[in-house]
């Protein structure tokens, strides 16, 4: 959340008063932008629900799951990118997220690996 820069310490306005300078912030335009994102999120939610109701006979289960997860990722991007302001964050935060993504991928990778590593004599249904 670094897009809105407030004034520096020396020119921070007194509480309850609007700052005279240092705030190139248009509250209404920001509100409008938030509403656009909200509408996009609503569309993504509707799309996920719509895909889940597509007939199983025409669209395979795997395709439906893949599509739903894709839309969920787009939805997550909207929240993380715009609402959490990740699109304009500092390098340190990106580094931290990079490490998290690495370990998360490792966690999921180990899960997939474990599924192929069944003990000898396992009975499959």
Note the residues at the interface with other proteins (CB under 8 A): 1-2, 4, 6, 8-9, 12-13, 15-19, 23, 25, 27, 30-31, 34-35, 37-38, 41-42, 45, 48-49, 51-52, 64-65, 68-69, 71-72, 75-76, 79-80, 83-84, 90-93, 96-97, 99-100, 103-104, 107-108, 110-112, 114-115, 125
Task: Check if the beta carbon of residue 73 is closer than 8 Å to that of residue 48.
Answer: no
The smaller minimum CB distance to other proteins, of residues 6 and 87, is found at 6
Nearest to 42 by CA among 78, 68, 70, 8: 78
Q: Measure the CA–CA gap between 50 and 11, rounded to whole angstroms.
A: 51
Q: Match 């500092």 to its residue by tokens.
A: 90
Shortest Å, Cβ 58 to other proteins = 14
Nearest to 83 by CA among 23, 40, 46: 40
């Amino acid at each position: 959340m670094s897009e809105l820069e407030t004034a520096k310490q020396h020119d921070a306005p007194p509480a309850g008063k609007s700052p005279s300078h240092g705030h190139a912030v248009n509250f209404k335009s920001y509100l409008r932008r938030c509403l656009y994102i909200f509408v996009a999120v609503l569309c993504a939610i509707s799309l996920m629900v719509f895909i889940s109701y597509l007939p199983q006979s025409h669209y395979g289960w795997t395709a439906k799951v893949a599509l739903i997860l894709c839309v969920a990722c787009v939805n997550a991007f909207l929240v993380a990118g715009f609402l959490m302001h990740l699109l304009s964050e500092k390098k340190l935060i990106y580094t931290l997220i990079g490490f998290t993504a690495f370990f998360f991928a490792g966690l999921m990778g180990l899960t997939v690996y474990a599924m192929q590593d069944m003990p000898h004599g396992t009975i499959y249904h």
